[in-house]
Amino acid sequence: MDNLVSVVIPAYNVEKYIDGCLTSIQQQTFNNWQAIIIEDGSSDNTAEVIQAVIQHDNRFRLIRQRNQGVSSARNAGLLAATGTYLAFLDGDDMWKPTFLAELVSAIEAADADLAYCGYTHLYPGGLRRKFSYPYASGHILLDVINGKTQVHIGAMLVKKDLIDQLGLLFTEGCLVGQDQEFVWKLIPHAKVQAVPRELLIYRIHSGSAITAQWQCQRHIHAIYGYKRASEQIMQLLSDVYDRQQVSCVLNERIAFKLYKFLWRMIKNGYFDEARQLLNNDEYNGYLAYLVPEKMKAIDRLKYKIVSSQQELCWKLASFF
C-alpha cells in the first residue's frame, strides 16, 4: 500500500519501558506500518525484551549496533525505512492508539507534507501533564523558531520523500538538541497540518533527557545545533518566506537561547566558561540581537546579571 508508515525507534538501556513503547505501536488503529528498532548497544536487557515482544510480528525489524548515540541510531533507521511516511518514537515513549490514523488523515486531507500533535508528560507514579502549544498550520517556520508552537520529534509524521530530497540526517556527535536541530531544518520546506490533540506520551524518568544532570560541556551542543540549523535555513530558504524577516527572527531567537544557556552556566558555577563565551566575538555578536523590550522583566534582570561579568552578581544568581 502506498501509505506505509515507517516508524524509527532508537533503543538504549530502556528494558523497563520498551515493551510499552512497542505495544503502543501494535495497538495503533492504523495498521499499515513497519517499525525499525535500532538497539544501540545497550548494557541491560533491552535487546532481550525487544525480541520477546516482536518475535511473532513481522512488521518489526531489529537492527543491532554498538553504542553510537541516538543520532546514529535514528540515521540507521532512516536509511532502512521504506515507507511513504516517517515517524520517530523513542524507546521509552508511547503513542495513543489513534496517533498514526489521525496524523496520516491530517496529511492526506490537507495535502500537507507533515502533521504534528501535542504530547503528555508521564511521571513516575502515573501523574500526567499535558503539553500543547498554540497549534499552527501552513508554513509555520516563524512560529517554530519563536517558540510559539512546538513540533516534538516523537509527535510528528512526515513524508519520507521530503526527507530524502533534503538529504536530512541527524547530526551525529551532537549530545543535546539534535531533535530540534532536525525539526528546524525540516520545517522551512514543509506545508504543515496540526492535529490539536495530545497523542504522544513522553515518559519522564531518572534516565530521560529532561532529568539528566545539567553539564555545560554537554548542553552547549544545543547552541551548536541551533547555529547549524540557522545557517542551513538561510542557505536553502524558499520564496514562501521573507528572507530579512527570517534572518532577524533567527538571530533574536538564538540570542535568547544563548542568554538562557549563559544563565544556566552561571547558576551551575561555570564562571570561567561563561566569561570565555561572553568574550568570544562570534557569540557576543549573537547577543547583540537581544531586544530587551521583548523580554520579560525577570529575563531583563537576569541578562543584566549575566552581562555584568561581576563575580558577586554571578554568585547571587544561584538564589534565583
pLDDT at 36 > cutoff 90: yes
pLDDT at 111 > cutoff 90: yes
In this predicted structure, what is the pLDDT of residue 125? 82
In this predicted structure, what is the pLDDT of residue 127? 85
pLDDT at 62 > cutoff 70: yes
Is residue 138 domain-resident? yes
Domain with 288, as residue range(s), is 242-319
Mean pLDDT of 248-256: 96
In the 8-state DSSP scheme, what is residue 240?
Answer: T
| Residue % of the chain over a pLDDT of 70 | 97
Separation CA 164–CA 216 (nearest Å): 34
- Does 250 share its domain with 202? no
Is residue 279 domain-resident? yes
Mean pLDDT of 258-279: 95
What own/partner pairs with CB < 8 Å and gap ≥ 24 does 44-51 have?
44/13, 44/15, 45/15, 46/11, 46/12, 46/13, 46/14, 46/15, 46/18, 46/91, 48/15, 49/15, 49/18, 49/19, 50/11, 50/18, 50/22
Mean pLDDT of 121-138: 87
pLDDT at 74 > cutoff 70: yes
In this predicted structure, what is the pLDDT of residue 212? 58
pLDDT tier at 1 (50, 70, 90 boundaries)? low
- Does 197 share its domain with 275? no
CA torsion, ordered 286, 290, 296, 300, to nearest 10 deg: 90
The CA distances from residue 197 to 115, 116, 117, 130, in Å, are 12, 9, 6, 10
- Does 87 share its domain with 181? yes
Is residue 96 domain-resident? yes
Separation CA 122–CA 204 (nearest Å): 6
- Does 198 share its domain with 261? no
Amino acid residing at 284: N
In this predicted structure, what is the pLDDT of residue 54? 96
Structural domains counted in the chain? 2
In this predicted structure, what is the pLDDT of residue 221? 96
Mean pLDDT of 23-40: 98
pLDDT tens, position by position, 175-192: 999 999 999 999 999 999
- Does 195 share its domain with 279? no
pLDDT tens, position by position, 198-236: 999 999 976 666 555 789 999 999 999 999 999 999 999
Separation CA 207–CA 14 (nearest Å): 9
In this predicted structure, what is the pLDDT of residue 292? 85
List 122's β-bridge partners, or say none: 128, 203
pLDDT tens, position by position, 291-312: 888 899 999 999 999 999 999 9
Arithmetic mean of pLDDT over the chain: 94
pLDDT at 171 > cutoff 90: yes
